[in-house]
Amino acid sequence: MKDPGPGGGEDETRRTMLPELFLELNTDGLILALRGRRLSDFGLDTPDAVGRNVSDVLTPSQADAIRDCVQRAIQTDTVVFTEHLTMAGGRRRFWQARTIPIGTDRALRVVIDMTEQLRWAQTIERSENRFRQLVEQAVDGIFVCDEEGRLVDANRQACDSLGYSREEMLRMNLIDLCHGLEMATLWDLIDRLDPGQSETHAAAHRRRDGSTFPVELHLGPFWDNEGTPRILALARDVTERQRLEKAALEGAEQEARRIGRDLHDGLGQHLTGMAFLAKGLERSLLDRGLPEAAEAKEIVKLVKEAVGHSRALAHGLAPVGVHGTELAPALENLAQRTREVFHLDCEFEGDAADRVPDDATATAFYRIAQEATNNALKHGNASRITLSLTTDEDGTLRLRIEDDGQGLPLSRPSEGLGLRLMKLRAETVGAKTSIENVSEEGGTRVECVLPPDGRARARWSELGSGPTPTAHALGDEA
């Protein structure tokens, strides 16, 4: 590499840091100083340009334009002028000329090539337009709100699904539109999650006419270009999904009841007949004094046990009397059958006064208790299981199933079908299910909580839901 000599490299660096044109001139157009990286592009690369008038080195129109900018800058303030010019070789460039006054008779004219900046700006604008089109065409409602829940943006789907214009939406709060979402949740998201992370919440969207529909909210924080915290909310209408889930659960429930009836009326009756015949054989052998009578007695015992098991299975698949007012007795019966069949300690703690709002909720709670009990037996190796049904002072209903088994593994790659079904059954009636270890030593606790407004929320999730008491006022305010 050739040595640039003393100061050579420094001079080159300074030259490349210069603007395309740096021109100092007076009000008459006399050039007092001239520097720049691309003087030839402006016709100012002549050796004797300094000391001459711009009229001598530029075209008349260019000279008049420069003198006019100098006069205006001195009379007012900095003058900024931009234009597209075609340079030598057909290159089209975008220039920004800034004329800055110096005293009362001179000015600096700084010309910068803005072509690349403009190209980047256009690229960013096109990218933003494409992103906006994607957002506007999304099938999910997309909301952007500040940390107080005030909406600052919303896509077309969000507006159309709720019946508001975008202008109306931007005067509203996300909390007003989402039953089941609280302000504390938004603050917690900003404090706890990093940009790019999100959490899913179940809620119900309230339309302008007061009707509601269930949504799955994906909430996550981000920071805008000014560093202001924002919350992005993606709302997916899950009306159809919940309808299909409900239909699937009802179909499974009907099939379970059918199998239970078949066990009771078919296999159960068949085993009962076998027990009757075996008992007759036992008596006949005893009357004859034959030693095979002992074996016949054992057969009778085994068949009776099989009858008991089949009845327990039938009752589990098709429980009788699981109604809103009879959930506690049904749970007590479940605990009793578990004790008798599996020979372990299983107790129920509750009161008949702890009632659920309707039969659907009673059935869901019973199935959750049944599934949790089965899990404790099959996977937890439990020796004691406690079922409890209580009501808090505020009306919250709590179903709890606790065992002393080995507990949940510390790392679970995914939830099993049973756990997912428990959560699904709870969601369909407006309740929430939590599953956790009792302690580090072991034990599992399953809790299903139905808040006082849980059934109302579940009803809003159904198709064709009507206005809520506060929805009309909210719609009028918008």
pLDDT-based confidence at 369, cuts 50/70/90?
very high
Average the pLDDT over 277-282 and give the result: 84
Average the pLDDT over 185-206 and give the result: 81
Please list, residue by residue across 23-37, b when 16 or more beta carbons sit within 10 angstroms of its beta carbon and e when fewer do.
Answer: bbbbeebbbeebebe
* Same domain, residue pair 300 and 326: no
What is the distance, to the nearest Å, from the Cα of residue 75 to the centroid of all Cα atoms in its chain? Answer: 58
Tell me the three state secondary structure of residue 324. Answer: coil
Cα 356 to Cα 267: distance, rounded to the nearest angstrom = 34
**What confidence score (pLDDT) does residue 216 get?**
87
> Residue 76 pLDDT > 90, yes or no?
no
* Same domain, residue pair 294 and 385: no
**What confidence score (pLDDT) does residue 401 get?**
94
Selected residue with higher pLDDT from 335 and 138: 335
- CB contact at 8 A, 35 and 6: no
Q: What is the mean pLDDT of the chain?
A: 78
For the entire predicted model, the pTM comes to: 0.49
> Residue 348 pLDDT > 90, yes or no?
yes
Whether residue 6 is contained in a domain is answered as no
Average the pLDDT over 309-324 and give the result: 62
Q: What does the CA dihedral 176, 177, 180, 181 come to, rounded to 10 degrees?
A: -70
* Same domain, residue pair 80 and 142: no
* Same domain, residue pair 290 and 325: no
Whether residue 397 is contained in a domain is answered as yes
SS3 content of the chain, % helix, strand, coil (to 5): 45, 25, 30
Pick the range with the lowest mean pLDDT from 94-98, 325-329, 362-366, 459-463.
459-463
* Same domain, residue pair 231 and 301: no
Tell me the three state secondary structure of residue 201. Answer: strand
DSSP string, 52-97: SBHHHHS-HHHHHHHHHHHHHHHHSS-EEEEEEEE-GGG-EEEEEE
**What confidence score (pLDDT) does residue 265 get?**
66
Whether residue 230 is contained in a domain is answered as yes
Angle at 425 between CA 422 and CA 429, to 5 degrees: 140
pLDDT-based confidence at 471, cuts 50/70/90?
very low
* Same domain, residue pair 390 and 441: yes
397 to each of 102, 346, 453, how far by Cα in Å? 80, 21, 11
Selected residue with higher pLDDT from 85 and 69: 69
Selected residue with higher pLDDT from 334 and 193: 334
Cα 296 to Cα 273: distance, rounded to the nearest angstrom = 15
**What confidence score (pLDDT) does residue 5 get?**
43
* Same domain, residue pair 364 and 294: no
Whether residue 472 is contained in a domain is answered as no
Cα 185 to Cα 301: distance, rounded to the nearest angstrom = 60
* Same domain, residue pair 295 and 204: no
**What confidence score (pLDDT) does residue 147 get?**
83
**What confidence score (pLDDT) does residue 143 get?**
92
Cα 292 to Cα 457: distance, rounded to the nearest angstrom = 65
* Same domain, residue pair 112 and 21: yes
**What confidence score (pLDDT) does residue 460 get?**
37
* Same domain, residue pair 326 and 452: yes
Q: Which domain holds residue 447?
A: 320-458
Predicted confidence (pLDDT) per residue in 373-422, tens digit = 988 888 778 899 999 999 888 888 999 999 998 888 766 544 566 777 78
Whether residue 427 is contained in a domain is answered as yes
* Same domain, residue pair 370 and 397: yes
Tell me the three state secondary structure of residue 383. Answer: coil
Proportion of the chain above pLDDT 90, given as a percent: 11
Selected residue with higher pLDDT from 436 and 319: 436
**What confidence score (pLDDT) does residue 39 get?**
73
**What confidence score (pLDDT) does residue 386 get?**
95
CATH number of the domain enclosing 436: 3.30.565.10
Cα 167 to Cα 159: distance, rounded to the nearest angstrom = 10
Whether residue 285 is contained in a domain is answered as yes
> Residue 353 pLDDT > 50, yes or no?
yes
- Could you give the number of structural domains in the chain? 4
**What confidence score (pLDDT) does residue 412 get?**
55
Whether residue 133 is contained in a domain is answered as no
β-partners of residue 439 are: 442
> Residue 123 pLDDT > 80, yes or no?
no
CATH number of the domain enclosing 151: 3.30.450.20
* Same domain, residue pair 150 and 108: no
